[in-house]
Amino acid sequence: MTVEGGRTAASVGERSAAETTVVSLAPSATATLAALGAGERIEGVTAHCALDRPVVGGWLNPDYDRLADLGPDLVCTADGLQAEIRDDLRDRGYDVCHVEPDTLDAVIDSFETLGDAVGLREAGSALAVDARERIDAVRRRVEAAVETDGRERPVVYCEEWGDPPMAAGNWVPDAVAAAGGRYPFCEPGARSREVTRERVERADPDHVVVHHCGRGDRVDSDLLTERGWELDASIHVLDDDLLNQPSPALGDGIETLAALLYGDG
């Protein structure tokens, strides 16, 4: 595991957590650092991050002048969409911790990467262990429910974006499987993809989960009917952070999905 931009994670970790100052340019990194207990080290965030800190622009358009004013020891980025920003930061001489998880396992591994980067290796490992234990507990509950009921696992359609309709990819197929569902729209690790009405109707989902990126839970549950999609499915609108954000919130999302599919028991 490395910190991109000039130093390894170990060398950055030579500073104590109390000494390492951070600007986080990714909401998922901000949430993960806060869960690690490093929230006080964060001196700047993007307008999309759920932390009250000075804003240094948007996720894809950071203000480099504002960033320079803050002068952090470390800048955190995430996702392939921020790869050019990572490279720009490296060229400007910043230490950068960049994570780009594409599966559920990779998301959990990124907790350790971020922990290393801010000198909190043990906290990163503990957060990863806790995430895996929570998800394993969900899997066990689902297995018990399937065995008890003797029914097939439900088909789930997760929609990450609505115009055009996009079936969620990356770690979402893994999340659905962990929650006890079947997801015939994307393979784990594949990017989200546009889908047609015919494709979704042919899959005949039992549940539709709407989690449009950047919308929170502010999406009309009637949107599929308004499109003319004819689905005999339960419609659920979730806060998008529960599935779209590769942070500890994904554990909450998996638990929420399992409750929707199998009940709270």
Which H or E run includes 173? helix 172-178
CB 250 within 8 A of CB 168: no
Q: What global pTM score does this model have?
A: 0.90
In a 10 Å sphere around its CB, with 0-12 CB exposed, 13-18 middle and 19+ buried, how is residue 80 labelled? Answer: exposed
Superfamily for the 152-262 domain: Nitrogenase molybdenum iron protein domain (3.40.50.1980)
How do residues 104-148 score in pLDDT, each as one tens digit? 999 999 999 999 999 999 999 999 999 999 999 999 999 998 888
Q: Tell me the Ramachandran region of residue 170: left when phi exceeds 0, alpha when psi lies from -120 to 50, beta otherwise.
A: left
Q: Which positions ≥6 away from 166 have C-beta within 8 Å?
A: 159, 160, 192, 193, 194, 195
How do residues 189-242 score in pLDDT, each as one tens digit? 999 999 999 999 999 999 999 999 988 889 988 899 899 998 999 999 999 999
How do residues 142-189 score in pLDDT, each as one tens digit? 999 888 888 889 999 999 999 999 999 999 999 999 999 999 999 999
Q: Which CATH architecture has domain 9-127?
A: 3-Layer(aba) Sandwich (3.40)
For residue 62, give both structure tokens: 């950071």
List the helix and strand counts (H, then E) for the chain: 11, 9
SS3 74: strand
Q: Is residue 16 pLDDT above 80, yes or no?
A: no
Sign of the CA dihedral with 162 first, then 164, 167, and 169 last:
negative
Give CATH 3.40.50.1980 domain extents, the chain.
9-127, 152-262
